Structure formats: structure tokens, C-alpha cells
Amino acid sequence: MNKNELTFIGCDCEYQDAEFVLFGAPFDGTASFRPGARFAPQAMRLNSRDGLETYSPYQDKDLADIRVCDIGDLQFAFGNPAAVLDIITQTTKTIVADGKIPVMIGGEHLVSLGAIRALAEKYSDLHIIHLDAHADLRNEYLGEKLSHATVMRRIWDIVGDGKIFQYGIRSGEKAELVWGKSHIYTHMFDCNDIETALKKTAGKPIYLSIDLDVLDPSVFSGTGTPEAGGIQFSDLIITLLKMSNSVIVGADINELCPHYDRSGVSTLVACKVLRELLLAFFP
């Protein structure tokens, strides 16, 4: 008999042996429209056990052959985004100091800021590749500087001009998109032209942040702020595979809200994206 331990499928390596460390950041405290992303990490673990193979036919690789330790969800006191971010930063620092690559399951998109704060401390030349329907470049949103709608602007505060490459963007206010033109690289509507980012980030440390609402709502409806006109699942996989030679030093996927898709398909889509992400960056 063994004790019951729920990890994402194939991610049950011991911590000291792991190359990747997976953790959940179940926070959705700044969600402005539909909350629920806090339920994503556990829903993904549970659904991955019965609904996902460890083997990827896209990459001919298997999660069983790579060393990933799922350390579970971080524990947050809700209601204080700054304190939540501190916990994510400290956890990420520990993982990085131990020579491992952090992979985070959100949560809402603000959680990316916590991980990037830690990685930018270690990598002064950190670049960001950001897949999303939303630009997330507002300086403040409803009076708040820390928000899912401001997260890329806060990340820009840290990394500065020319370091952020965003793809799939199809929503934002005019002012933030105009601001973006002189500070970051934005490719609207799809992930074609990812090669531009790959050329400019070649050999540089990259943090990859995937807001799953970059996918079309017909593929992925279980999210807080769905935006029509998104990319297909195959586009996302092709984009990940094109990045497989990049120096990825950390990654996250965020904004799955399992309860808005009663079919459960969105949760399984998120599971599959995570599997392909983990396998794409294993040498």
C-alpha cells in the first residue's frame, strides 16, 4: 500500500533528482470579470491522471523519461496580491538556487510577476516570450498597479525595453497598445512570426508565459476573459516546438478556469499544453 499522492501525470520525480520543478499558484484575487483560476492546478492534476497519456506523439517523447517534481500548490493567504507574489518569488528563488527550472501553473496571470522577479535577479539579460489574447500592458487597472491587466507592464518595469515579445494579442485599450510599440515587440492576432522573437532571443535566457486564452474560445472556453479570434491548438504546439532550442529558464501557463467549461475539455487542453511544454524543453 502507498499513500495517496496527487501529482500531474508523470511528474513524480523526487525533488533532489528533478530537472524541472512544477508548482501551482492558485491565486485569482485580481480577476476583474470571471474568477476561478485558483482551481486550475488541482483540476489539471486530477484530469491528467485519467485523461492524458505521458507520451507525446507530436515529439516522440514521454514524461516518464524526464525528471519533473510536482511539489503541489503554494499556500496563500487570499486578499493580498503583494504577499502572494512574495511567496511565489521566494519559492522560485529556492528552485533556481537548487539548479532547477521552475514551471508554474496559475492562477491568474499576475502570478507570472512573482516568478519573473526571482529569475530576473539571477539572469540580468532575461527575455520574456508572452502568448496571450490580452496585452496586459496597462500601468494601472481600476486604480491597482498589481493586476492581471497590468502584469506585463510590471514585468517591463523589471526587464526594460526590447526584452518582451508578445504574440496572439487581440485585445487591449488603444493607449496600452500604442505605449507597447515603443517599448516591447507585439505581434497581433497569431503566433506566426515567432521566428522574430527566436532570432532576437537566441542564446539568451527566456521566460515563457502562456496565458491559455491565446487559444480560440472554441478550443478553450474555460477561462476568465475569453476573446474570440484566437489561435488553434495546433498553432500553439507548432509554436512550442519552434522554441525547443531556446534557453528556457522558467515558464508558466495560466488563466484556466475549469468551471466555466462544463464539458471539461478546457482542463484537458491545458494538461496537454503543459505536457508538450515540459517535453519541448527537455534537451
Applying CB under 5 A, the residues found at the interface with Mn ion are 132-134, 211, 213
Q: Smallest distance, Å, CB 134 to Mn ion?
A: 4
| Rounded CA separation 27/257 (Å) | 11
When the beta carbons of 123 and 185 are compared against Mn ion, the nearer one is 185
Q: Smallest distance, Å, CB 148 to Mn ion?
A: 7
Cβ atoms within 10 Å of 97's Cβ, excluding its own: 10
Q: Smallest distance, Å, CB 112 to Mn ion?
A: 11
| Rounded CA separation 139/151 (Å) | 9
Taking a C-beta distance cutoff of 8 angstroms, is the pair 149, 141 a contact?
A: yes
When the beta carbons of 41 and 230 are compared against Mn ion, the nearer one is 230
Taking a C-beta distance cutoff of 8 angstroms, is the pair 5, 12 a contact?
A: yes
When the beta carbons of 205 and 224 are compared against Mn ion, the nearer one is 224
Cβ atoms within 10 Å of 263's Cβ, excluding its own: 9
C-alpha of 281 from chain center: 14
Q: Smallest distance, Å, CB 147 to Mn ion?
A: 12
With residue 158 as reference, give the H or E element that holds it: helix 151-159
The count of residues in the chain is 283
What are the grid coordinates assigned to 20, written together?
Answer: 524541472
Q: Smallest distance, Å, CB 133 to Mn ion?
A: 5
Task: Indicate the residue whose CB is closest to Mn ion.
Answer: 134
Q: Smallest distance, Å, CB 225 to Mn ion?
A: 6
When the beta carbons of 106 and 205 are compared against Mn ion, the nearer one is 106
Taking a C-beta distance cutoff of 8 angstroms, is the pair 272, 279 a contact?
A: no
C-alpha of 232 from chain center: 17
Fill in the amino acid letter for 172: G
With residue 239 as reference, give the H or E element that holds it: helix 233-242
When the beta carbons of 10 and 26 are compared against Mn ion, the nearer one is 26
When the beta carbons of 24 and 230 are compared against Mn ion, the nearer one is 230
Q: Smallest distance, Å, CB 181 to Mn ion?
A: 19
Taking a C-beta distance cutoff of 8 angstroms, is the pair 172, 215 a contact?
A: no
When the beta carbons of 73 and 211 are compared against Mn ion, the nearer one is 211
DSSP designation for 225: S
